[in-house]
Structure 1
Amino acid sequence: MAELNGRPMQEQQTSNEPGEFPDRDAARMAAREPLPEMPPARADLIGVTDADLDRGEQAFKQQQHDEILRGLDVYAEAYSGKIAEINQINLRLGDNMLKQVAKVKESITTMWLLGAGIDGKQRSDTAFVEKSERELEKLEHTT
């Protein structure tokens, strides 16, 4: 027995007697038979004649072409306006962000100045106390 991809091949029946082929083989044979002559496929256009179709095809060549182009221009202009609006909104958003950054920078600068003032006051007070202690020690030693 012959093998195909390592599997034994089943022998096909060759009888022409009806009823001896399995349903699968009968369907295969029916698929190989030519179909009866059929008219070419057409859309079912009720009330439309071939002359109407010919005129429609000719009209499309210029009139509909121009209308399609005008429609695309309107479409592009509509989105161009929307994009311009988005750009304006983004500029406002950017301005608001810069204002907030400026406020934060101002707050940080204020905090730094306050910290520097506190540090300066602490050094000044420490220097005053140390000087006062030295002067008091001098007074105590002289008595």
Structure 2
Amino acid sequence: MAELNGRPMHEQQTSNEPGEFPERDAARIAAREPVPPATADLIGVTDADLDSGEQAFKQQQHDEILRGLDVYAEAYSGKIAEINQINLRLGDNMLKQVAKVKDAITTMWLLGAGIDGKQRSDTAFVEKSERELEKLEHTT
């Protein structure tokens, strides 16, 4: 049998209804009721452990621990909010740069299209001029 902290662990019992124990225990914690031995056995805690634990672990200590965890969670919640703001700024900067690149590419395309159009019209003008000159040379 496996041991936890030098004590044998009890085999976990399974319930036919999933989530039965967590929901029941959450309701008891909210009502400040002690954890029953049946649930404690599931996590390897004996009745003797519960009796000595009740003496060492008072309601005030429990509440202080929960308040401490709330402070801890709030501190990291603020940090996560800051990270989210930084990421939004980063995303905005990226979108601005993408817009600039798209604008530059569009300008390049328009210039290229203008150059292509100018080349076609110049080529057409030169070819027309050459044909006209050939006509003049043949008629004289």
CA contact (8 A) 1:13 1:21 kept: no
CA 1:90 to 1:122, structure 2 compared with 1: closer, same or farther past 3 Å? same
* 3-state secondary structure, aligned to 2:15: coil
Partners of 1:115 and 1:105 lie apart in 2 by 15
Q: Is the 8 A contact 2:2 2:8 kept in 1?
A: yes
Q: Deviations 1:17-63 (Å, cap 9, x if unpaired)?
A: 9999999999999999999xxx9999999999999999997473111
Q: CA shift at 1:5, angstroms?
A: 36
Q: State whether structure 2 residue 63 is matched by structure 1 residue 66.
A: yes
Which deviates more, 102-111 or 50-59?
50-59
SS of the aligned residue for 2:40 comes to: coil
- Which segment is superposed worse, 75-84 or 16-25? 16-25
Change (3 A) 1:6 1:107: closer
Query: Structure 1 residue runs of 4+, over 3 Å off?
Result: 1-35, 39-60
- Superposition CA RMSD, Å: 19.0
Relative contact order (alpha carbons < 8 A, sep ≥ 6): 1 or 2 greater?
A: 2
Whole-Å separation in 1 of the counterparts to 2:120 and 2:57: 91
Contact 1:3 1:9 in 2 (8 A): yes
Q: If the length of structure 1 is used for normalisation, what is the TM-score?
A: 0.60
8 Å contact 2:12–2:43 — kept in the other structure? no
State the identity %: 94
Residue-pair matches, total: 140
Superposition TM-score, scaled by structure 2 size: 0.61
Structure 1: 5+ residue stretches without partners: none
Higher helix share: 2
Matches of 1:97 and 1:105, distance apart in 2 = 12
